[in-house]
């Protein structure tokens, strides 16, 4: 196919028409029909027919990337309102699950189409949705994760509606979840559910499945230890009373006794939800240990063993785990059977913890005041002594 050097828009379209007609002999009269439309200046109709026919090229030994890139490049010859529709149609064809093969080439074409559109073009949204669909279907969603930090800014540029934002957030949630990227998938289902915080009960009811999925995912993820921001979502609050919601609250508190009572009272929950009870139990213990570390700078093995309901011989392994989780920094003093804490993080700050912190800060402020008064007295004493010495001379 020619590179369309030094050709007018109409001549480039004619080149593409001739190429298409030559490679689709079963479409008798296609070349003549489309040539007549080009001559009449009806270019959007020509481009639409070329896009409609393009899927047939996947059954031929032709350069798919060059062909589709040529179509994408020529969409600029149409009016903006026509281009928007044609971009949507082209992106739909390229991402169609009816097509088999050349997925990498199709993703490249979609990426080129996306990059060649104007920065603020809403068509970029339509194209990006199809890129996510194709990347998901072909197991290549990982190629997009690095650019997701720019997505909210992009959607602002594209002037996306709330429904469009929700659709893309929801799509990314399921795509990332199915690919095993639990942390990022949680990020997007949270973004999705946050858009419903001001909605009516009926609207919230429509996203119960996503709210339940988020709860279970947080409980299952080995690296997620905070849940207060999730429990604060109205979409999640509506699940109050359901076992999963109850468990998330217990998990956040890190109270092992209450958690174990829940397990006894809900013998079927873990099997029905697909959660690994031992994995959730481990996370509750880590949160409980982190809370202990946050309350004291030095902990005896016996106190930790009682809190975690484990043997003293297992303490060191639990301390290593809580350090690896990022919830605390500490050292094990085996000789004195103590754990020396240098830093620890609460899983969440409840009202009680804020009050405790306020009391500590007040005590610290009082101590600083006493130190300052002592220094002032010492300074005054030194001044008097200096004056007396000078007078004696």
Q: Check residue 349 and give its pLDDT.
A: 45
Which CATH number characterizes residue 307's domain? Answer: 1.10.10.10
Q: Check residue 4 and give its pLDDT.
A: 47
Please report whether residue 168 resides in a domain: yes
One domain for residues 111 and 169: no
pLDDT exceeds cutoff 90 at 74: no
Domain count, the chain: 3
Given a contact cutoff of 8 angstroms between Cβ atoms, the answer to whether 49 and 32 are in contact is no
Q: Check residue 356 and give its pLDDT.
A: 47
253 band by pLDDT with thresholds 50, 70 and 90: confident
One domain for residues 230 and 175: yes
> CA-CA distance, 237 to 249, in Å (whole number)?
11
Instruction: Summarize the confidence of residues 8-25 as an average pLDDT.
Output: 82
End-of-domain residue from the set 344, 361, 376: 344
373 band by pLDDT with thresholds 50, 70 and 90: confident
pLDDT exceeds cutoff 60 at 95: yes
* Mean pLDDT, rounded, of the chain: 86
Please report whether residue 364 resides in a domain: no
Instruction: Summarize the confidence of residues 117-126 as an average pLDDT.
Output: 92
pLDDT exceeds cutoff 80 at 26: no
Instruction: Summarize the confidence of residues 261-267 as an average pLDDT.
Output: 93
End-of-domain residue from the set 254, 275, 296: 275
One domain for residues 74 and 1: yes
One domain for residues 109 and 201: no
The strand ranges marked E within the chain are 298-300, 328-333, 338-344
Given a contact cutoff of 8 angstroms between Cβ atoms, the answer to whether 327 and 284 are in contact is no
Residue 213: in which H helix or E strand, if any?
Answer: helix 208-220
Please report whether residue 388 resides in a domain: no
pLDDT exceeds cutoff 80 at 151: yes
One domain for residues 230 and 295: no
pTM for the model: 0.78
One domain for residues 37 and 115: yes
Please enumerate, as own/partner, the contacts of 117-125 that have beta carbons within 8 Å and a separation of 24 or more.
117/87, 119/157, 120/157, 120/158, 120/159, 121/84, 121/158, 122/84, 122/158, 122/159, 122/160, 123/83, 123/84, 123/87, 123/88, 124/154, 124/157, 124/158, 125/155, 125/158, 125/160, 125/164, 125/168
Q: Among 86-90, 139-143, 258-262, 347-351, where is mean pLDDT lowest?
A: 347-351
Closest by CA to 235, choosing from 170, 164, 149, is 170
- Taking the alpha carbons of 380, 386, 389, 393 in that order, is the dihedral positive or negative? negative
Domain boundaries, position 231: 161-275
> CA-CA distance, 311 to 259, in Å (whole number)?
19
């Amino acid at each position: 196919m020619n590179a369309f050097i030094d050709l007018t828009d109409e001549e480039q379209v004619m080149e593409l028409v001739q190429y298409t007609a030559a490679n689709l002999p079963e479409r008798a009269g296609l070349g003549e029909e489309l040539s007549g439309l080009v001559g009449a200046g009806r270019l959007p109709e020509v481009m639409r027919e070329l896009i409609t026919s393009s899927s047939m090229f996947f059954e031929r030994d032709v350069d798919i990337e060059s062909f589709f890139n040529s179509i994408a490049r020529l969409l600029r010859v149409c009016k903006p309102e026509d281009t928007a529709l044609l971009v949507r149609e082209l992106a739909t064809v390229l991402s169609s699950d009816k097509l088999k093969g050349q997925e990498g080439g199709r993703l490249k074409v979609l990426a080129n189409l996306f990059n060649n559109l104007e920065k603020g073009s809403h068509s970029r949204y339509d194209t990006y949705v199809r890129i996510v669909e194709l990347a998901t279907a072909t197991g290549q969603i990982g190629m997009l994760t690095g650019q997701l930090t720019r997505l909210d800014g992009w959607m602002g540029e594209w002037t996306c509606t709330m429904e469009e934002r929700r659709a893309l957030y929801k799509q990314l949630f399921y795509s990332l979840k199915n690919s095993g990227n639990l942390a990022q998938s949680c990020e997007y289902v949270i973004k999705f559910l946050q858009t419903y915080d001001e909605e009516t009960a009926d609207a919230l009811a429509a996203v119960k499945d996503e709210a339940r999925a988020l709860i279970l995912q947080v409980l299952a993820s080995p690296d997620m230890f905070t849940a207060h921001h999730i429990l604060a979502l109205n979409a999640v609050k509506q699940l109050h009373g359901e076992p999963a919601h109850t468990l998330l609250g217990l998990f956040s508190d890190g109270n092992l006794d209450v958690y174990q009572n829940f397990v006894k009272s809900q013998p079927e929950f873990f099997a029905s939800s697909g959660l690994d009870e031992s994995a959730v139990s481990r996370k509750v213990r880590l949160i409980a240990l982190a809370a202990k570390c946050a309350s004291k700078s030095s902990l005896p093995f016996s106190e930790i063993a009682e809190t975690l309901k484990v043997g003293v011989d297992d303490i060191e392994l639990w301390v290593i785990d809580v350090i690896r989780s990022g919830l605390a920094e500490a050292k094990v003093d085996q000789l004195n059977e103590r754990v020396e804490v240098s830093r620890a993080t609460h899983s969440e700050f409840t009202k009680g913890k804020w009050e405790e912190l306020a009391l500590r800060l007040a005590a610290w402020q009082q101590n600083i005041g006493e130190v300052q008064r002592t220094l002032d007295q010492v300074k005054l004493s030194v001044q008097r002594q200096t004056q007396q010495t000078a007078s004696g001379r």
